[in-house]
Amino acid sequence: MESGSNRKRRDDEFRELSQFRDAIIQSANVWINALDETGTVTLWNEAAEEISGYTAEEVVGSDEIWTWLYPDETYRNDILNNVSAILQGEKAVEEFQTTIETKDGSCRTLSWNSHAITDAAGELQGSVAVGRDITDRTNREREFEALKERFQAYVETASDLLSVIDEEGISKYESPAVKRMLGYEPDELVGEDNFQYIHPDDRAKVRKNISTMIEEPDSTATSVEYRYEHADGHWVWLETVGCNKTHTAVDGYVLSTRDITERKEREQELRRQNDRLSEFSSIVSHDLRNPVNIAQGYLEAARAECDSDHLEDVEIALTRIDQIVNQTLSLARHGETIGKKNTVDTASLAEQCWKGVDTAGADLRLRDPPVIKADPRAVRHLFENLFRNAIEHGGEDVTVCVGPCDEGFYVEDDGVGLPDEVRTDLFAPLPSAGGEPAGLGLTIVKRIIDAHEWEIQPTESAAGGARFEIRSVTIDHRNGRR
């Protein structure tokens, strides 16, 4: 028979063990709760209180917690079916995820391990559940999956070709754009030496570009233009820029490539046109200037001998011929090539150009036009020709305005405007619909616009005059007024 002292010692040890157990449960950083065989809460630790917002006093002894945590009836019934199966010893769960609604209305995601508990005789007494708050982790996973989906969608739909190569130029990945751009299936080029498809005349500069990218990882990435053999055998002009740092996720060097064939063909055609125009302008200059100079000499001699009104008409005609020669030479000089782009204060430059044009009684008004990136010399000729055009067609008392518009600037006047019938061939050096020569001034303007890859739209000003809107301009926001 057990003595009283032994029983007391055993009770004390059991009490200390229970206190130690309770201390561990309460101080644990994971949610711990226990249920009796009816599903009523019998244990609710401090972490459960902190995560759910419900205190042990609110929860222990009640089964209302299921409605509080899972307000959606369908979802709650699924949870309770699992709880019932655990209480009956039919199953245990590991890493079972649920989303609860906390007391403050926010949602948290928990990962559960739960199993039934039995007494010494093996009788079911309830269950215990341990939950880890994985909300932050699941949010990161969702964000990562969304990012992956967006990136995959970008790769599959991007107009540019994305490639991954190793240090030897061997392809490790080609995005789906390779089929549209070069005619190859993506897997067809993987494992292949890209240099064998590059035009022999271009291989050296491409190798140099890639070598610099690899050997100087901190250097600024630069693009390289070259010809690549299409699957059907013709050459395609490409422009490629590479990422100069490898990444463990891709295990290689990432290249972004675009098809510039049309641009190259356009540049080549424009060069041919400019060469022809330059040759033509030289002929015009040589063959017309000499006769004009001779005619001007005879004109002065004729004036010395007689006084005739017809001589003034002759002078006007000779002046017009001289203008045509000068414009033709200017047109040849301002083809589709421009100088270095610098910061251009269009207000200041427009004011300078106005002083260099015979403006008679015309007036210039500046309405805070933007600071842009462009070839200053070319923009000077653009302003001069637009100003001359406004004065020539708008009259000596015309008012010309220069101001900002969406992605660029405008030049407008309050003159007679642009008839609809002349707008279609406004920039062509041909006779207008009325039969009068349109001159070369606007043709020069158009070539300067094209050389900068801008756009020009002739329209009507608020005053009914002509308005030219120059768009797709690079605005220098750091130095600009807009």
Could you tell me which residue, 145 or 17, shows the higher pLDDT? Answer: 145
Instruction: Give me the pLDDT at residue 243, please.
Output: 73
Q: Using CA atoms, how far apart are residues 377 and 272, in angstroms rounded to an integer?
A: 23
**Which residues does 271 contact at the CB level (< 8 Å), separation at least 6?**
335, 336
Q: How confident is the model at residue 431 (pLDDT cuts 50, 70, 90)?
A: very low
Mean pLDDT calculated for residue range 120-138: 88
pLDDT tens-digit readout, 315-371: 878 877 777 677 666 656 555 467 788 999 999 999 999 988 888 789 999 999 999
Instruction: Give me the pLDDT at residue 17, please.
Output: 54
Tokens 């065989």 belong to 37
pLDDT tens-digit readout, 381-393: 899 889 988 998 8
Instruction: Give me the pLDDT at residue 372, please.
Output: 94
Where do the domains of the chain lie? 4-139, 158-259, 261-333, 337-482
pLDDT tens-digit readout, 249-269: 556 788 889 999 998 988 888
pLDDT tens-digit readout, 62-80: 888 999 999 999 999 999 9
pLDDT tens-digit readout, 293-322: 888 888 888 888 888 878 888 887 887 777
Q: Is the pLDDT of residue 439 over 90?
A: no
Q: pTM of the full predicted structure? A: 0.43
Mean pLDDT calculated for residue range 13-17: 53
Tokens 């199953």 belong to 91
Q: Using CA atoms, how far apart are residues 378 and 104, in angstroms rounded to an integer?
A: 66
Q: How confident is the model at residue 433 (pLDDT cuts 50, 70, 90)?
A: very low
Instruction: Give me the pLDDT at residue 432, please.
Output: 44
Q: Which fold has domain 337-482?
A: Heat Shock Protein 90 (3.30.565)
Q: Is the pLDDT of residue 463 over 70?
A: yes
Could you tell me which residue, 411 or 381, shows the higher pLDDT? Answer: 411
**Which of the 8 DSSP states describes residue 135?**
H
How far from 114 is each of 31, 34, 56, 248, CA to CA, in Å? 11, 9, 19, 38
Q: Which fold has domain 158-259?
A: Beta-Lactamase (3.30.450)
Structurally, at CATH architecture level, domain 4-139 sits in: 2-Layer Sandwich (3.30)
45, amino acid identity: N
Within this chain, domains 158-259 and 261-333 share the same CATH topology: no
Q: Which fold has domain 261-333?
A: Helix Hairpins (1.10.287)
Q: Is the pLDDT of residue 146 over 90?
A: no
Mean pLDDT calculated for residue range 10-23: 54
How far from 335 is each of 189, 322, 368, 384, 472, CA to CA, in Å? 40, 21, 29, 16, 19
pLDDT tens-digit readout, 269-293: 878 877 777 777 777 666 777 788 8
Residue 102 burial (10 A CB sphere; 0-12, 13-18, 19+): middle
Instruction: Give me the pLDDT at residue 477, please.
Output: 76
Q: How confident is the model at residue 447 (pLDDT cuts 50, 70, 90)?
A: confident
Mean pLDDT calculated for residue range 228-247: 85
Q: Is the pLDDT of residue 155 over 60?
A: yes
